[in-house]
């Protein structure tokens, strides 16, 4: 699941902070991960060597932020067992027999409550 | 916000702690009724103690190390709650009916005989403890088995309704008092019959309550008897009734029901007996709780009004008015905590006018602010208002010095027995004038408002406020027995609120509804990300979106593919709105489609161009070769004819040379044909080589000739081709006519290129081809013959550059 989420993450990061987004494939709304500031954002890199070092740190922190965003997204997104789409908690229904996304539930005439109303 | 919390904290402190006095030891403080004689008898036998005035309540004074003179009904419950460790009972006092036989002969034997006695009955004072003792004793007397205060209240109500009952009236013919008080009056010359009610009454022990052990020196009991006090062991001096059979001395088991009966005695007397304070607070507990409730309500009301105000300066005045009311109520609350009617208590009373007089001034100031639609520093008459207010307050606060505002006896009961002086009327007239002026201005400003029905309410509350103030001043019972502070604050708040609703003061009452109805897609969030205001079409902002916007508001955020969030920081949070970018997306998609189609069309056109180019090249090549064929057709035909006739020729060598000459001419002419098409220049040297080549071949054909090219520079290739053709045809005619030798010279004369031939025969019969002469004419040149006396030359001139005619 983490890998799946990670592959769906869209990078919204800037040189100042790291932020990732995932789009719910049912309602189309974006969910944004908590922004994590880049540790060296406030420091200027005057020399090429330093810039390269900062770039390396930036990439390393970005990887960590991506992993954290995936973990955060795991709490808010689910994989529909029918259509295999990533859906947000508002579009994922807890049904009697099987938890489904809203569209699949409608197709199968199942009733349920959303995870997050 | 901080001020509000501070005010609430202060309020709680006042409520919980009261006015804490400084701790001091060694004082004897009286909390019992009429105990001065007892105190005077005690002090000589209690060394180290001196008489003192109460600074705080009984519990605080005991805790402070003082010895308190009180009754057992006060001391025992206090000790049960841990206040006071030592109780020293000395005097046994009994609640009796003292009948002044100088004024009435009514037959009174007990409580029930009061029902029909028709004589005025009074209670010695209106203190709380006195009310408690009377109520408890009478209740017990009327029902020994199950004492209830309703019985006593009913008797008192009956007496009051018949005009025979009053509190604080020791001058009445029948007084409900303690037996030692009546005995003292008798010792002072009175003629009171001390009646122990036959139905029953209660005896209370008076003594000392202390946290410290007290040592009363021997002889104190004797001193008490000498002073006229009955002792706790039952011994009584002369002047007391002989029998106390019906009197019951309270013991440990009795305090419970007794305290239940006397609870809220002052309130019950006021409401159920005297029918006063029915709609306002009647005792200290109610005063305190009601004041806190009103303060809380005013603070909340002030907050709501503050939120509804559009203008900052108006909001400040409204806030000030709210705080004035809160300050007034808090000062009143503070005054209720004071135990003695001293200077501080009086200054608190004067202090009420700091707030009371400021309210109409603030309202008038507010009406002045509303005159100017813009926020200005201060209205023109601000300092006049302030001056009037300050003078009024100063006049009231210094009343002790001049007594111009309130007139009373400084040592008397100034809280009730006071009169109004001219200063008071001046101050009140000024306040009423300010109030009327403010109301008038507000109504004048709001005259265009169509809500005439709504204007009735502020008018009613304004009139009610004035009527209430007048009634209070003239001590109309309903107003006089009510709480001025609370009522004025409530009426003021109601007036202001209805004025807001009537549109007399501009507010943004419908702001939220307008905001919710506006199709602007805007949401206002507080610092915690909670939605404070939201327009109807705005979707809720999720937590993740809020956190991301909080981090970076400069960059918009996608909600979905067609909606974008924008945010700006505002005071206390942020404003978030959405923008529909579906049109932009559609345009972008259309542009991408157009771009794709254009790229495909371009590729098609490019391919078509390539094909056309190839076709054109093929066509051009075909046309070129056709033209070449046409150019060379005559020459090739002549050459073919020569080749055909070659076997028949007798001069085989010359004919072969001529054929070679023709072949050479055709070859070079083809070269020149292509050079003409390329539009390139030809050097005179190269033309000279071509001519030398012709010359060489002509020699093989038997013609002695020489051609010299005097021009080495570049030549127009068309001119060069014509020169070459001219040379070939001249050589051909010379071979045909055997006009050997032949000399030719090509040179530039002025702007013309001149090619001269001097043959060995007569060239007049030579006929140059139509094709050559046409080409020469087209370039503006000519071919002519020139007689040179002994010879005739052929000359061709061409302008340099080769102008084309026609």
B740-794 residue pLDDT tens: 888 999 998 888 899 999 988 888 888 888 888 998 998 889 999 888 878 889 9
Mean pLDDT, range B515-524, rounded to an integer = 84
Mark whether B359 and B251 lie in a shared domain: no
**Alpha-carbon gap: A69 to the closest alpha carbon of chain B (Å):** 11
pLDDT in tens, B423-435: 999 999 999 999 9
Phi/psi class of residue B48: alpha, beta or left (left: φ > 0; alpha: ψ in -120 to 50)? left
**Alpha-carbon gap: A64 to the closest alpha carbon of chain B (Å):** 18
Number of domains in chain B: 5
Mark whether B163 and B227 lie in a shared domain: yes
Please give the interface size between A and B, counted as residue pairs whose CB atoms are below 8 Å apart. 40
pLDDT in tens, A5-39: 888 899 999 989 999 999 999 999 999 999 999 98
The top-scoring range by mean pLDDT among A64-68, A96-100, B517-521 is A64-68
Which residue from A16, A32, A37 is facing B548, i.e. has the nearest CB?
Answer: A32
Mean pLDDT, range B476-487, rounded to an integer = 84
Please report where in the chains the tokens 């001249």 appear, as a residue: B730
Supply the pLDDT for residue A104.
92
Query: Where does the pLDDT of residue B19 fall: very low under 50, low under 70, confident under 90, or very high at 90 and above?
Result: very low
Which residue from B547, B559, B560 is facing A35, i.e. has the nearest CB?
Answer: B547
**Alpha-carbon gap: A80 to the closest alpha carbon of chain B (Å):** 20
pLDDT in tens, B352-387: 999 999 999 999 998 888 877 666 667 778 888 899
Mark whether B253 and B389 lie in a shared domain: no
Percent above pLDDT 90 for chain B:
25
Task: Give yes or no for residue B625 having a pLDDT over 90.
Answer: no
Q: Identify the DSSP state of B713.
A: S
Mean pLDDT, range B402-413, rounded to an integer = 83
Mark whether B298 and B447 lie in a shared domain: yes
d(CA B96, CA B217): 31
Mark whether B711 and B726 lie in a shared domain: yes
CB A45 within 8 A of CB A51: yes
Mark whether B175 and B82 lie in a shared domain: yes
**Alpha-carbon gap: B548 to the closest alpha carbon of chain A (Å):** 6
Supply the pLDDT for residue A44.
75
Q: Cβ of A59 under 8 Å from any chain B Cβ?
A: no
Supply the pLDDT for residue B5.
57
Q: Pick the last residue of a domain from B246, B273, B300.
A: B273
Supply the pLDDT for residue B374.
65
State the best of A29, A75, A77 to mutate against chain B, taking most chain B CBs within 10 Å: A29
Q: Pick the last residue of a domain from B627, B645, B663.
A: B645
Mark whether B493 and B446 lie in a shared domain: yes
More confident residue, B17 or B146: B146
Q: Which three-class secondary structure state does DSSP give residue B741? A: coil
Mean pLDDT, range B468-482, rounded to an integer = 85
**Alpha-carbon gap: A85 to the closest alpha carbon of chain B (Å):** 17
Mark whether B452 and B340 lie in a shared domain: yes
CB B496 within 8 A of CB B321: yes
Task: Give yes or no for residue B736 having a pLDDT over 90.
Answer: no
Mark whether B526 and B610 lie in a shared domain: no
Task: Give yes or no for residue B639 having a pLDDT over 90.
Answer: no
Domain contains B20? no
What residues make up the domain containing A74? 2-114
**Tokens representing residue B509 in the block:** 């009452």
State the best of B551, B555, B565 to mutate against chain A, taking most chain A CBs within 10 Å: B551
Quote the distance between the C-alpha of residue B661 and its chain's center: 108
d(CA A28, CA B499): 50
Number of domains in chain A: 1
Mean pLDDT, range B661-681, rounded to an integer = 86
The domain spanning residue B430 has which CATH number?
A: 1.20.1070
Mark whether B517 and B585 lie in a shared domain: no
Supply the pLDDT for residue B296.
92
- The reply to whether omega before B191 is within 30° of 0 (cis) is no
Task: Give yes or no for residue B563 having a pLDDT over 60.
Answer: yes
Quote the distance between the C-alpha of residue B20 and its chain's center: 41
Percent above pLDDT 90 for chain A:
54
Q: Pick the last residue of a domain from B547, B576, B605.
A: B576
Q: Do B544 and A29 touch (CB under 8 A)?
A: no
State the best of A24, A31, A32, A87 to mutate against chain B, taking most chain B CBs within 10 Å: A32
Beta partners for residue B783, in sequence order? B796
Q: What is the per-residue DSSP string for B522-580?
A: EEEEETTS-EEEE-TTPPPPPHHHHHHHHH-SSS-EEEETTEEEEEEEETTEEEEEEEE
Q: Do A32 and B544 touch (CB under 8 A)?
A: yes
pTM, to two decimals: 0.50
What residues make up the domain containing B527? 511-555+564-576
Domain contains B805? no
Supply the pLDDT for residue B541.
87
Supply the pLDDT for residue B21.
38
Supply the pLDDT for residue B6.
55
Domain contains B485? yes
Domain contains B608? yes
Q: What stretches of B697-787 adopt beta strand conformation (E)?
A: 705-709, 714-716, 742-749, 752-758, 782-787
Task: Give yes or no for residue B525 having a pLDDT over 70.
Answer: yes
Q: Is residue B631 exposed (0-12), middle (13-18) or buried (19+ Cβ within 10 Å)? A: middle
pLDDT in tens, B310-329: 677 888 888 999 999 999 99
Domain contains B4? no
- Among B142-151, B503-512, B694-703, which is the least confidently predicted range? B503-512
Q: Cβ of B551 under 8 Å from any chain A Cβ?
A: yes
Supply the pLDDT for residue B433.
92
- ipTM, 2 dp: 0.83
d(CA B137, CA B148): 10
Mark whether B621 and B737 lie in a shared domain: no
**Tokens representing residue B491 in the block:** 């009426």
Mark whether B533 and B624 lie in a shared domain: no
d(CA B625, CA B797): 30
For residue A30, the chain B residues in CB contact (below 8 A) are: 545, 557-560
Domain contains B279? no
pLDDT in tens, B237-290: 988 998 888 999 888 888 888 888 888 887 888 888 887 777 777 777 888 888
């Amino acid at each position: 699941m983490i890998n799946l989420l990670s592959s769906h993450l869209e990078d919204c990061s800037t040189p100042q902070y790291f932020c990732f987004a995932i789009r719910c494939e049912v309602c189309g709304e974006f969910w944004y991960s908590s922004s994590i500031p880049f540790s060296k954002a406030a420091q200027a890199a005057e020399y090429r060597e330093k810039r390269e070092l900062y770039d390396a740190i930036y990439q390393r922190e970005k990887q960590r932020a991506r992993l954290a965003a995936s973990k955060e997204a795991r709490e808010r997104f689910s994989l529909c067992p029918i259509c295999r789409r990533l859906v947000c908690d508002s579009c994922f229904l807890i049904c009697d027999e099987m938890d489904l996304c809203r569209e699949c539930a409608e197709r199968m005439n199942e009733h349920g409550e959303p995870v997050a109303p | 916000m901080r001020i509000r919390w501070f005010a609430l904290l202060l309020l709680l402190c006042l409520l919980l702690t009261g006015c804490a006095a400084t701790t001091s030891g060694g004082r004897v403080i009286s909390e019992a009724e009429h105990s001065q004689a007892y105190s005077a008898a005690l002090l000589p036998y209690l060394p180290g103690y001196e008489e003192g005035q109460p600074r705080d309540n009984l519990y605080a004074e005991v805790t402070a190390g003082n010895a308190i003179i009180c009754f057992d009904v006060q001391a025992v419950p206090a000790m049960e709650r841990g206040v006071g460790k030592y109780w020293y009972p000395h005097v046994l006092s009994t609640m009796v009916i003292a009948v002044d036989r100088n004024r009435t002969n009514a037959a009174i034997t007990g409580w029930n005989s009061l029902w029909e006695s028709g004589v005025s009955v009074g209670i010695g004072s209106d203190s709380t403890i006195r009310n408690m003792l009377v109520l408890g004793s009478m209740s017990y007397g009327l029902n020994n088995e199950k004492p209830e205060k309703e019985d006593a209240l009913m008797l008192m109500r009956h007496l009051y309704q018949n005009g025979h009952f009053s509190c604080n009236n020791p001058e009445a013919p029948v007084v409900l008092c303690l037996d030692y008080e009546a005995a003292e009056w008798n010792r002072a010359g009175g003629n009171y019959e001390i009646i122990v009610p036959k139905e029953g009454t209660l005896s209370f022990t008076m003594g000392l309550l202390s946290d410290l052990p007290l040592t009363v020196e021997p002889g104190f009991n004797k001193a008490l008897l000498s002073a006229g006090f009955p002792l706790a062991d039952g011994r009584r001096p002369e002047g007391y009734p002989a029998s106390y059979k019906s009197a019951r001395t309270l013991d440990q088991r009795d305090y419970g029901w007794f305290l239940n009966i006397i609870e809220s005695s002052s309130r019950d007397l006021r409401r159920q007996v005297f029918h006063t304070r029915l709609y306002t607070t009647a005792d200290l507990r109610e005063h305190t709780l009601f004041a806190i409730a009103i303060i809380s309500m005013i603070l909340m009301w002030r907050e709501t009004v503050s939120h509804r105000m559009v203008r900052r300066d108006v909001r400040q005045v409204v806030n000030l008015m709210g705080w004035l009311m809160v300050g007034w109520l808090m000062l009143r609350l503070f005054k209720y905590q004071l135990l003695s009617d001293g200077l501080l208590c009086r200054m608190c009373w004067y202090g009420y006018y700091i707030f009371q007089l400021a309210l109409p001034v603030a309202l008038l100031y507010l009406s002045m602010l509303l005159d100017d639609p813009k926020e200005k520093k201060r209205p023109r008459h601000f300092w006049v208002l302030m001056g009037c207010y300050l003078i009024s307050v100063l006049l009231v606060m210094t009343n002790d010095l001049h007594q111009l505002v309130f007139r009373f006896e400084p040592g008397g009961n100034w809280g009730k027995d006071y009169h109004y002086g001219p200063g008071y009327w001046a101050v009140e007239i000024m306040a009423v004038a300010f109030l009327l002026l403010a109301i008038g201005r507000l109504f004048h400003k709001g005259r265009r408002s169509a809500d005439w029905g709504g204007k009735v309410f502020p008018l009613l509350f304004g009139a009610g406020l004035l009527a209430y103030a007048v009634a209070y001043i003239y001590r109309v019972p309903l107003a006089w027995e009510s709480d001025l502070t609370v009522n004025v604050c409530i009426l003021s708040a109601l007036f202001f609120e209805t004025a807001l609703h009537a549109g007399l003061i501009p507010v943004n009452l419908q702001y939220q509804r307008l905001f919710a109805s506006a199709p602007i897609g805007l949401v206002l969030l507080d610092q915690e990300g909670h939605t404070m205001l939201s327009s109807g079409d705005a979707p809720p902002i999720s937590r993740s979106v809020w956190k991301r916007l909080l981090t970076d508001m400069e960059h918009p955020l996608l909600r979905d593919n067609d909606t974008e969030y924008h945010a700006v920081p505002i005071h206390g949070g942020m404003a978030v709105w959405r923008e529909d970018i579906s049109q932009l997306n559609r345009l972008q998609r259309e542009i991408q489609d157009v771009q794709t189609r254009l790229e495909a069309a371009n590729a098609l056109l490019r391919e078509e161009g390539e094909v056309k180019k190839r076709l054109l090249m093929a066509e051009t090549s075909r046309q070129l070769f056709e033209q070449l064929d046409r150019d060379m057709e005559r020459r090739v035909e002549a050459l073919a004819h020569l080749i055909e006739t070659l076997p028949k020729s007798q001069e085989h060598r010359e004919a072969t040379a001529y054929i070679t000459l023709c072949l050479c001419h055709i070859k070079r002419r083809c070269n020149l044909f292509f050079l003409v098409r390329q539009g390139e220049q030809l050097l005179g040297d190269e033309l000279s080589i071509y001519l030398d080549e012709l010359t060489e071949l002509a020699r093989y054909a038997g013609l002695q000739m020489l051609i010299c090219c005097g021009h080495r520079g570049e030549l127009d290739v068309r001119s060069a081709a014509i020169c070459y053709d001219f040379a070939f045809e001249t050589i051909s005619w010379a071979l045909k006519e055997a006009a050997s030798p032949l000399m030719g010279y090509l040179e530039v004369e002025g702007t013309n290129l001149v090619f001269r031939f001097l043959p060995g025969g007569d060239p007049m019969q030579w006929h140059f081809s139509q094709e050559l002469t046409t080409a020469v004419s087209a370039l503006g040149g000519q071919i002519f013959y020139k007689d040179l006396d002994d010879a005739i030359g052929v000359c061709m001139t061409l302008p340099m550059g080769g102008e084309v005619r026609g």
